[in-house]
Amino acid sequence: MSDHFPRQRAIITGASSGIGKATALAFAHADIDVALVSRSESKLNAVVDAVQDIGVQAKAYCLDLANVDRVKAEFEAIVADFQPIDILVNNAGMGYTGILAETPLQDWQQVMALNLTSVFQCTLGVLAHMRDRHKGTIVNVASVAGKTPFPGWGAYSVSKAGLIALSKTLAAEERAHGIRVVAFSPGAVNTPIWDTNTVQADFNRAAMLTPEIVAQSILHTVLLPEQAVVEDITLMPSAGAL
């Protein structure tokens, strides 16, 4: 149960499956209300139903974060509708494989837009609200690929390295405003990202982290006392990198 009354409230992106869905359910069990953002309305509504069954408030916001020029205003609208917002989990992103020499500019820009620029815009959409309240926790779901180069994952690795740098800069700038920022870098997680048409990889998914394990770690992070923050987390499968 949360120590705060009224309940804490969170926005989670990429909430219809994988880490986002698992985080929504973990937050609900911890008595945190959730605003859920994703492109897929039907999948999102199923998660909202599951969260409400646990006994907290949930609301679906169907948005395509790839439309980066609209994201900031859309997030300001979510904040106005669902406030107060205590937590933002920037989890939405895409996987992409291909060596750099063969990566088309359009693909590169698509990966950067969703994995990095949209997070920047989501964050700006909630930042003024968190500053006004002098509190808030922002968790950016990056990847171990942002810290270690994996051949064939160039555009993805660069986008996640940028996200880690964004998180660290934001943490330094917003500390004085009572805002905590976490760069959360998991190793391989068994999510639907491996089934998408932009990822060509054949790994043993049974050895990966589960979305539920990642979600529990995110939950522990946001429930730390306000005087503490873990700014940089690398969460690996105990069996090691794949």
Cα separation of 155 and 231, whole Å? 24
Contact, 72 vs 117, CB < 8 A? no
Contact, 26 vs 218, CB < 8 A? yes
Q: Residue 112, class by beta-carbon neighbours within 10 Å (0-12 exposed, 13-18 middle, 19+ buried)?
A: middle
How many angstroms separate the Cα of 5 from the Cα of each of 1, 31, 35, 135, 241?
A: 10, 10, 18, 14, 40
Q: Which of 27, 61, 120, 156 is catalytic?
A: 156
b (16+ CB within 10 A) / e for 75-95: bbebbeebeebbbbbbbbbbb
Instruction: Supply 215's token pair.
Output: 């979600």
Closest to 206 in 3D by CA, of 185, 233, 188, 186: 188
Contact, 92 vs 152, CB < 8 A? no
Contact, 76 vs 52, CB < 8 A? no
Cα separation of 234 and 242, whole Å? 15
**Residue 56 backbone dihedrals phi, psi, to 5 degrees:** -120, 170
96 is catalytic: no
Active site residues: 156
